[in-house]
């Protein structure tokens, strides 16, 4: 089956490295990449079960995009690295973006931010609010504040965060000032009871788009309901994308997160959504056991969504528990097959069995994919 996805930058841009492949071939390549990582981590262990493939669409899935500015060569470029990673491809449009985000990109390009180099995050909210984070050097931030014209034009179109500390741009007493980020419902998640707005900053981590995230959350909710768990612990909760689906099914959910700004948004979302009685929020670096000792007592289900580096020391406390003291269910969400497979090998050694594995294809035309896996204590 040939892909129906097309792009005028296909031979230049490095963002979609599988765009020349038929979609069926992409499915096979990604599934094989997961199987290969599993076999490498567990050469003598159990075979990877049949992988459930969840397709959302072949494009138009992004409501958030990170781009780069570079005009050191004398011409203004806003885009992504080329396929050889030697320079930028100036992107006037991108079929990976939702219509709302593509319209925002078109308007943003007209401003041509006067810096030599920097990074830009553009996003739109579920209700159409526009946001931009200009990740620039301090000297460029000062220059733009002094120049003011560019930032005034930008503020007329969007909420602006600027600088490596993600300060919000505000006007006070006729002057532009840098203030702490203000939480807005930039994202959303889904429960059996409906949509939950997720408050965060423009620069906060979220999944890349609403449609693909709904497919991802629906798969997690399905697996959570299947466990029948009543108590849950979530590690790496972020702004709560999986927290509220968990809390809508389980009677009590304890969450752990190290990012204070993410927790600020999580608390706001929990309070506004009426989840405060069902969610207990803890702050700490759960990946380093000596910094935040992890207790699994009285836990039916553990849900983790770690960064690409994986769980690191998180699983260490499980090793000291007797088999019947370990949580019965373990749901692992990952965007990196290699670290997922290494952590899965540790879980298998501790008596967990991989029951279901799904790939949610929220990054079509690229080698990236999202894994959702469900383990059960043997």
- Annotated active-site positions, please? 335
DSSP string, 273-315: HT-TTTEEEEES-TTSTTTS----TT-SEEEE---TT--GGGG
Question: Cα–Cα–Cα angle for 73, 77, 78, nearest 5°?
Answer: 150
Cα–Cα distance for residue pair 21/255, rounded to 1 Å: 40
Question: Cα–Cα–Cα angle for 321, 325, 331, nearest 5°?
Answer: 95
The pairing of beta strand 159-162 with beta strand 301-304: unpaired
Q: Which two tokens stand for residue 206?
A: 């979220």
Cα–Cα distance for residue pair 372/239, rounded to 1 Å: 19
CA neighbor of 184 nearest in space, from 203, 211, 164, 157: 203
Cα–Cα distance for residue pair 131/347, rounded to 1 Å: 40
CB contact at 8 A, 236 and 256: yes
Please list, in sequence order, all residues whose beta carbon lies within 8 angstroms of the beta carbon of residue 22, skipping any fewer than 6 positions away. 1, 2, 3
């Amino acid at each position: 089956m040939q892909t129906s996805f097309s792009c005028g930058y296909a031979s230049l841009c490095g963002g979609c490295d599988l765009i020349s492949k038929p979609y069926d071939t992409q499915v096979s390549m990604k599934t094989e990449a997961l199987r290969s990582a599993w076999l490498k981590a567990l050469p003598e262990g159990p075979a990877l079960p049949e992988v459930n493939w969840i397709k959302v669409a072949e494009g138009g899935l992004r409501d958030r995009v990170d781009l780069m500015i570079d005009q050191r060569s004398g011409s203004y470029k806003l885009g992504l690295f080329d396929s050889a990673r030697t320079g930028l491809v100036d992107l006037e449009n991108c079929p990976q973006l939702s219509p709302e985000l593509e319209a925002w990109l078109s308007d943003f390009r007209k401003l041509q931010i006067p810096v030599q180099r920097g990074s830009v995050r553009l996003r739109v909210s579920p209700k159409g609010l526009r946001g931009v984070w200009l990740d620039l050097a301090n000297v460029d931030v000062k220059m733009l504040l002094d120049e003011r014209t560019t930032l005034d034009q930008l503020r007329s179109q969007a909420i602006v965060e600027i600088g490596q500390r993600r300060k919000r741009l505000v006007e006070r007493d006729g002057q532009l000032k840098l203030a702490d980020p203000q939480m807005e419902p930039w994202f959303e998640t889904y429960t059996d009871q409906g949509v939950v707005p997720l408050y965060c900053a423009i620069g906060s981590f979220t999944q890349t788009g609403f449609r693909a995230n709904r497919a991802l959350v629906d798969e997690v909710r399905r697996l959570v309901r299947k466990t029948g768990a009543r108590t849950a612990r979530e590690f790496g909760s972020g702004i709560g994308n999986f927290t509220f689906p968990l809390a809508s099914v389980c009677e009590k959910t304890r969450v752990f997160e190290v990012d204070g700004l993410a927790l600020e948004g999580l608390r706001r979302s929990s309070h506004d959504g009426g989840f405060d009685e069902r969610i207990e929020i803890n702050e700490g670096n759960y990946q380093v056991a000596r910094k935040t000792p992890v207790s699994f007592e009285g836990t039916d289900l553990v849900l983790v969504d770690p960064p690409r580096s994986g769980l690191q020391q998180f699983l260490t406390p499980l090793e000291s528990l007797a088999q019947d003291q370990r949580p019965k269910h373990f749901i692992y969400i990952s965007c990196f097959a290699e670290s997922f497979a290494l952590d899965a090998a540790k879980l298998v050694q501790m008596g967990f069995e991989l029951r279901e594995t799904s790939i949610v294809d929220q990054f079509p035309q690229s080698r990236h994919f999202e894994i959702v896996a469900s383990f059960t204590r043997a």
